[in-house]
Amino acid sequence: MGNYYKKKIISAAAPVLSGLQLHRLFAPFYAGIGQILMLHRVVAEEGQVRIHNHQSLEISPEQFESTLNFYRNKGYRFVSMDQVYEILKSGKTSRPFVAITFDDGYRDNYTTAYPILKKHRIPFTIYITNCIPDRSIILWWYLLEDLVRAQSSISFQWKKNHYSFSCHSPIEKEQAFEKIRTLINQELTKDHERDLLKAIFGHFTDDLYYYSKTIGMNWEEINTLCRDPLATIGAHTVNHRSLRQLEADELAYEIMVSREQIEKQIGRTVEHFAYPFGKASEASLREFQLIKSLGFKTAVTTRMGNIFPAHHRHLECLPRININKASRTEVLQLQSSGMLPCLYHLGKKIVTD
């Protein structure tokens, strides 16, 4: 079963499961000692039909604040990624913790999420992919959402192959988004990035860089954030590529240069990392070993999971809980009790691969 359908079923079943209070039975065994929350964007709702997979990157400011309140009311302690590292190293924590993390470096993290976090004095980490503040990335996943939303069919030519996707119904749009996303991740290399994206989006837009200019943070904003001790800046590679597709030298470049350039820009050391995309097909053992050898304190994936003391042996691949529009109170309850991760991974507790 695809992740899309798995998540749809979980989301639909959450109120029933939550009502049955079954999560209380799971909590003693599956809640673990804490959670690392994964967010991307905090933005007001548009009122338009969205691509589910893409919408999973967003939450409204109101829901973001109520999510923070959920954890506060449950007695969780808000911690930085440095504190997650300390807790796992020492094996000591007096009460469950929650760490707030954002991927990529979207401007709304600064304009919308930061004021809320500051008001509540909550530490947070933003994993920057350098090409966003450098304005050298084509945020193709936003273009892709616009494309499938606007068109009823999509066709393009790539490497002598003709690709064609029907996009009439919402489900066809979801499927086209997922198939083209997979194709781009498989085919994208530094050398022919522009050619590939031009082949797909060229007829649709004449500014492939529109989104990086409008929704990405710049270095000045990142530096302002850095002055607040609540903020931690982590690395998220130079070009946000799917790491498993890369040759060893490209992989090392993506990670090492990312860290080096951020350190130069912000004038402090970068000790935490997030894998781009982060599914098993996009980051695995080779990537984990490299991150470990480079001396990062922690690295996070996009695999769903709570944190257990045994994760002290897996600091280079810590799972997270994705927080988005679907993360209503009942879903948060099932996640924090460990029930959802347990069902999702068929009973497996220590999610690493």
- Contact positions vs Zn ion (CB under 5 A): 103-104, 276
* Contact criterion met (CB below 8 Å) for 302 and 278: yes
The token pair at 40 is 């991307």
Pick the closer one to Zn ion by CB: 104 or 174. 104
Pick the closer one to Zn ion by CB: 123 or 276. 276
Q: How far is the CB of 240 from Zn ion (least distance, A)?
A: 6
Amino acid identity at 353 = D
Pick the closer one to Zn ion by CB: 104 or 193. 104
Q: How far is the CB of 4 from Zn ion (least distance, A)?
A: 18
Pick the closer one to Zn ion by CB: 71 or 106. 106
Return phi, psi of residue 257, to 5°: -70, -35
Distance CA 325, CA 335 (A): 14
Pick the closer one to Zn ion by CB: 314 or 320. 320
> Would you state the torsion angle of the CA atoms of residues 106, 109, 111, 117, taken in this order, to the nearest 10 degrees?
180
Q: How far is the CB of 41 from Zn ion (least distance, A)?
A: 11
Give whole-number Cα distances, 54 to 119, 178, 239, 288, 318, in Å.
28, 10, 19, 26, 23
Pick the closer one to Zn ion by CB: 76 or 275. 275
Q: Reduce the DSSP state of residue 53 to 3 states and report it.
A: helix
Q: How far is the CB of 274 from Zn ion (least distance, A)?
A: 7
Q: How far is the CB of 236 from Zn ion (least distance, A)?
A: 6
Q: Reduce the DSSP state of residue 281 to 3 states and report it.
A: coil
The token pair at 43 is 């933005």
Distance CA 261, CA 110 (A): 20
Q: How far is CA 135 from the centre of its chain?
A: 20
Q: Under 8 Å CB-to-CB from 45, ≥6 apart: which residues?
A: 60, 325
Which residue in the shown chain puts its C-beta closest to Zn ion?
103
Pick the closer one to Zn ion by CB: 104 or 316. 104
* Contact criterion met (CB below 8 Å) for 230 and 121: yes
Q: How far is the CB of 351 from Zn ion (least distance, A)?
A: 19
Q: How far is the CB of 328 from Zn ion (least distance, A)?
A: 24
Give the sign of the dihedral formed by CA 76, CA 37, CA 211, CA 262.
positive
